[in-house]
Amino acid sequence: MIPLKLSRRFYGKYKWFYRIVAKLLSFGFMIGMAYYHFIRLNEETQSGRDFSELRLEITHELLDSAAVGLERFYQQNGHYPTSQGKYFFDSIKQYIHANDVYVYNDSVSTENDTIPIKKKLGKFNFLDKSFCYFGIGTSEQTIIYKLVTTKSYKLYSVGENYRDENGSGDDIVYQRKKWYEIWK
């Protein structure tokens, strides 16, 4: 076992290396997750089966990613984002590695009308765009963030009826898992 003092000195000296490895692993995980879901979704639609279970799994993974981004934002800034609703993603997008398949973008006119932007095939760079949000399969089934207090928030996905019911009805509410529930 490496003494604690030596391991801290080693980590401090090679911190850049650990950060690169962590980012590569996180990015690889997101790519793998998207590919896995694409294959499963393709198999389910070809067989004519209902893929609501897969959509639910994707929803939970995106809610987990959003929660990680919110926690990283909190660690960096000392508070949670003040922007609420579906556009909270603009506040956390630099803190997470999100697959562009699940990110949508709106254009806002001078009259404050929102118009969904059609994504073109290929790379969609959402990091330099405003009014971005998570969507589960469609731009209508979004993830919503609401700041409850300065130290707590509510995170949920609009359900299959595409209506924001404030976390009730068929909306899927994020609940942080306990450490012993993660490996179940």
Q: pLDDT in tens for each of the 184 residues of the chain?
A: 455 454 555 556 667 676 776 676 666 666 666 666 666 665 655 555 566 777 888 888 888 889 999 999 999 999 999 998 888 999 998 898 877 778 888 877 667 666 666 665 556 677 878 888 888 877 788 889 999 888 888 899 887 887 777 777 777 888 775 544 444 4
- Judged by phi (left if over 0) then psi (alpha if -120 to 50, else beta), residue 7 lies in alpha
pTM of this prediction exceeds 0.85: no
CA–CA distance, 118 with 151 (Å, rounded to integer): 36
How many other C-beta atoms are found inside a 10 Å radius of the C-beta of residue 14?
Answer: 12
Residues 6+ apart with CB under 8 A from 166: 146
What are the CA-CA distances from residue 131 to residues 58, 70, 73, 162 (Å)?
A: 22, 17, 18, 19
Cβ partners under 8 Å of residue 164, min gap 6: 144, 158, 171
Question: Which pLDDT score is estimated for 77?
Answer: 92
Dihedral (CA of 47, 52, 57, 59) sign: positive
pLDDT at 182: 47
123: Cβ contacts below 8 Å, ≥ 6 apart = 100
Which residue's structure tokens are 């929803």? 59
